[in-house]
Structure 1
């Protein structure tokens, strides 16, 4: 199991020489994740996991741009699609720090304010009054890539469909397509529910434009979740939805996305595999005892998963995480647990971030001293310890040495921009007057881990050395962490005017 912390090598990679094995890209998973009673299995091995919840692997909220005032809901944000480099970096950041699985956020639903707020969504309104909603092909290509990269690097995905809430556009916005109310989403005879069923069918039957496989054949997809925090789920809603998903994707698992309670009917529904809950202090359930209560309520009949918890001190989060790792009822333990929440690196340097109402910022991997007010390094340690424990390991594996970062084209050496390595903590910048060197170190121990970074105004690193007019300077950057150094990045040049 220890090899899973650094990724997975598929059967095809066993062909060829040892040198080929060491350089070959990670290939497809061998198995779908299956359920055996209250346990998840990867082949014949028990599958347990922990991590920092990464909701935005397929759509990113750019908090640095602030609030979109044209959205009358009062908190309209600027969302954008990630670049391929960003998605690859985020998924590698998770896998190389030990993550084996990840639950992402929902498919976004169109609102009347999207154009004014310069954003697109996954789900578009129907073209006729009683028609079905459409998938936005532009959006879904990024979803395709998330799945393909997860398969490549060794990350299992939990994919929820629709949100109870309206942050990304959810049940209220879907119901608005048909002149219905938000609670009609849970009414299995409503137009909104029919649209929801149609979305599920479109998504599961979609052919991935990168892998060429239908989604229901993607082994990286561990489970489909009925939705995010679906507080109003009824027995009929869960029964019909779970059966619909299972008919469409019999090799993948189904998770009941109900929030704040354990549904008795889900314990006996043959199409429900996983029951989850989210813990937050505002709901008076963010404590280790909630893990025990949920395990007793499920009674060993289904897999149990703590989908989200957070927004507390590192010490408190550790108490909940340790309950998720160790608490047992009738032989059943939590299959996994995620602390909220993660944001990844930007294409041109620094990190995306999100600030919660509690004042907590999102966490960055592999953890940085700049996040001390957020106890970032302590929280990452909590998670990596739990990952090791879930794997049955006695110690936390060290981070691998980072790969080379990517230096971006240089507009001015007074603001050097680079995409950091997935597990890089620090960077060394070098300059030369020839592409072949000799190289002079101009900055060492540079970090890209600042929280609240605004690329419009902030600079991560500027060349501090004088430059002569008419001279062309060449730059490169190396990443390092406590385990070692990368090779140098690509070389970029700048001619001083």
Structure 2
């Protein structure tokens, strides 16, 4: 049996060891599910007498965040929401950098240690809450205490630079070691102001990590720091590790419990191999970070069956924004639960399944209610914004007019990442609410109903001071429900807001009698406002005069929400005139992925777009567009004519664009192949190395010029060693973008050893796309890759391939071997439908032979293999692309049909002619430009 930590233990109240400060006065009793410590038994973790394996995630920002328009503390809502999402997905241990919070010379005044040896205990507020709330869910924590890297939350240089030391001195100089240990003492020795439990005595903290990805650790340093921490926290574990591979000193450190290894990207074989190495040394193994984009059943399924792996921690988890939608992050490895995009959803499901596979019992929890955060009325149209709720796979926004039944604002449910919708009807007197949907489509409870009454409504959950205009004598105090505003001294304090046309304010408080509402025209002179207590207990001030309102809290009153209603000015006329910009009427040569744009119309609330073909059939349409450009998710037919139109809409009426419609024609399919790379322009190895740059994050790659024996021409040779990172690659940035629009794919000759993956990667339209080739055997072979096989890498965001602007070409190897990759003659492939049929010649007549073979036509050549959306070897055997015999170039696979093979022959021949002509030009001149190299002939 595997203990999971999810359902272990009872909800036990925490006994305070000291009185919590007023700024953190608990509003509800804190409980914990973590009543026993996780322990180590040789190379395994134990909990409650059973083996414990962690389903983990990194939530690095729980103490201090960089995703809030600058560096600031995350709100209690965001901490709670993300931990709730993790808990629902079976996450049992969270790794967080909240124990790392240092700076130099007050460069970051929000840090725990803004200057060396100086501490700000107010900065513990978010950390206290994260520890307390994780405990209430049964989630354990691993907390690094410093960092190799100089990120916003600080790192080990904060203990050396102020002392005039080099960064490497962190591990050897007694002054730096003393400074680090002083910081460790302050953090590990902290007593949680919410629960009263010392950190060192809290089973929620499973392990302290010496630092994140520390690269310079020595065995004496590790031994000393482990002993120092265990002296203060004897019941907690200690972890250490460096970036990407196993630090041998961690294996030799006798008292160290956990070795942490990181993977970008991971493979099952490498994880299991590292786990075997670590456990053979008697240590617990965890993958403390792995690229969440690699979370698939193919990765996590085998790892779940390997008992040597005690934890897999995906990097990095984010939750809902305080106002709307999901918090974005741009490191390429962000994920949300249960997923904000289709690719995230599949990764989230793989992570959930991993938890189940290692024995975690997923909690069956009801959905919470969303919170409508605003209804903004502009130009007579209302836009509804809401804060999401943990576990939501989608949302439904509903509208009610008078006593009529509730109806949906949109035809279909909105996705998990949604947080804003425009009601394109916006009937007078409408009220709004939002429901969350789970993965089955079942809805949770509705949000509170908001009725804007023709105006604007702003809802402030008072988790921070972003929406208020002033506050005095108050703080946001944490409680198990999130947080609320209280007076810091227990006497009185106030929060003020400013809104143009302010008419009404409602305040959710637990003690209405302890609240006073005041109004002001200038924010300086205040007068009491008449109030009533609503049916829901809210204190309501109606008929306000002036643009300022404030609420004064006395005693222990807790404010959890402020709702402000202000007047909105509706338009008196339809939107103003505007014009269509691109593509202009009469444009020709457009690509099949156009972006349409138009000028802004005065007083427009939104726009409606329509695209029709030459027969008048609607190809694409969209409404509720608030911007002045739109790219529909549609592929148009090459060589065809289309018309497009836009209407501007507001609450009064509709205005049609000038001109009313615009026509454009798409470019016909290309008929000649484009030479992407044939390696003929490089004078020597140095020249090649200038163009093909190694990805320094991967293994060693050495580019040199080689020979393609099939053609006698130059080829690119890339000697590689994948030891360590597990991948290696070279990248060529094109001097001028290449236009691959209308081509069906790429064709390239290569020779590669078996056992290692070969991937072609391109940057098109500013986004990354790649495909792994189907290499068969070790000899030279030609492979066709359909453009449809290129997809965003696991670490990249979702994108649609726009082949009209290709700016980068790269070759990557993946695996754990070493060898040579040779590449030559990379060309685009032409759609057979675009090739002009060849005159078959004059057929022979009985007794009078005609042209030999019954006509004239192309020489025999390679056919086109078939495959389901992937890179496929070209079928048949035949000459090289330049028409010469190629005994050394094997073509593997088989053609689907004779007709397809004949069509492909014409396509390849067209490419061969272009390639041969291009090569001849290069032989005549060694100064051929990149632009010429990109032209077909």
Tell me which interval the TM-score lies in, with the shorter structure as reference length: 0.7 to 0.9
Specify the alignment match of 2:525 in structure 1.
none
**1:125 shift after superposition:** 0.4
Specify the alignment match of 1:31 in structure 2.
36
**1:386 shift after superposition:** 1.2
SS at match of 1:462: strand
Q: Distance in 2 between matches of 1:377 and 1:95?
A: 16
Q: Distance in 2 between matches of 1:147 and 1:120?
A: 19
For 1:303-330, what per-residue CA distance to the aligned partner results, in whole angstroms no more than 9, with x for missing partners?
1111112165555xx44434432235xx
Q: Is the 8 A contact 2:171 2:216 kept in 1?
A: yes
Which structure carries more helix by proportion? 1
CA gap 1:407/1:6 in 2 versus in 1, 3 angstroms? farther
Q: Distance in 2 between matches of 1:153 and 1:138?
A: 24
Specify the alignment match of 2:72 in structure 1.
80
**1:4 shift after superposition:** 5.4
Specify the alignment match of 1:345 in structure 2.
320
**1:57 shift after superposition:** 2.4
Of 387, 391, 413, which residue of structure 2 is paired with 1:419? 387
The CA RMSD over aligned residues, in Å, is 3.0
Q: Are 1:460 and 2:420 matched, yes or no?
A: yes
For 1:415-468, what per-residue CA distance to the aligned partner results, in whole angstroms no more than 9, with x for missing partners?
42222111001112223356x985333245122416xxxxxxxx7212333233
Q: Distance in 2 between matches of 1:239 and 1:467?
A: 70
Q: Distance in 1 between matches of 2:452 and 2:368?
A: 24
Q: Are 1:103 and 2:68 matched, yes or no?
A: no
Q: Distance in 2 between matches of 1:417 and 1:113?
A: 37
1:162-177, aligned counterparts within 5 Å?
162-168=146-152, 169-177=154-162
Q: Distance in 1 between matches of 2:302 and 2:226?
A: 29
Specify the alignment match of 1:494 in structure 2.
452
For 1:53-96, what per-residue CA distance to the aligned partner results, in whole angstroms no more than 9, with x for missing partners?
32222222227x5xxxxxxxxxxxx2221111111101000001
**1:280 shift after superposition:** 2.2
SS at match of 2:239: strand
Q: Which runs of 4+ in 1 moved over 6 A?
A: none
SS at match of 2:335: coil
CA gap 1:260/1:92 in 2 versus in 1, 3 angstroms? same
Q: Distance in 1 between matches of 2:3 and 2:368?
A: 18
**1:204 shift after superposition:** 1.0
CA gap 1:327/1:423 in 2 versus in 1, 3 angstroms? same
Q: Are 1:388 and 2:356 matched, yes or no?
A: yes
Q: Is the 8 A contact 1:405 1:420 kept in 2?
A: yes
Scaled by the length of structure 1, what TM-score is found?
0.79
SS at match of 1:353: coil
Gaps of 5+ in 2: 14-28, 455-567, 569-937
Q: Distance in 1 between matches of 2:400 and 2:293?
A: 47
Specify the alignment match of 1:122 in structure 2.
112
Q: Distance in 1 between matches of 2:220 and 2:263?
A: 25
SS at match of 2:194: coil
CA gap 1:26/1:45 in 2 versus in 1, 3 angstroms? farther
Specify the alignment match of 2:868 in structure 1.
none
Q: Is the 8 A contact 1:306 1:324 kept in 2?
A: no
Q: Is the 8 A contact 2:37 2:235 kept in 1?
A: yes
Q: Distance in 1 between matches of 2:250 and 2:2?
A: 33
For 1:237-264, what per-residue CA distance to the aligned partner results, in whole angstroms no more than 9, with x for missing partners?
1011000110110111111233444345
SS at match of 1:109: coil
Specify the alignment match of 1:321 in structure 2.
300
Specify the alignment match of 2:58 in structure 1.
53
Which structure carries more strand by proportion? 2
Specify the alignment match of 1:209 in structure 2.
193
Scaled by the length of structure 2, what TM-score is found?
0.43
Q: Distance in 1 between matches of 2:426 and 2:434?
A: 19
Specify the alignment match of 2:691 in structure 1.
none
CA gap 1:135/1:461 in 2 versus in 1, 3 angstroms? farther
Specify the alignment match of 2:143 in structure 1.
159
Q: Distance in 1 between matches of 2:131 and 2:107?
A: 25
Q: Is the 8 A contact 1:364 1:449 kept in 2?
A: no
CA gap 1:495/1:138 in 2 versus in 1, 3 angstroms? farther
**1:214 shift after superposition:** 0.9
Q: Distance in 2 between matches of 1:250 and 1:297?
A: 23
Query: Which is worse superposed, 378-387 or 203-212?
Result: 378-387
Q: Distance in 2 between matches of 1:426 and 1:243?
A: 49
For 1:319-363, what per-residue CA distance to the aligned partner results, in whole angstroms no more than 9, with x for missing partners?
4434432235xxxx111012222221111111112223xxx3511
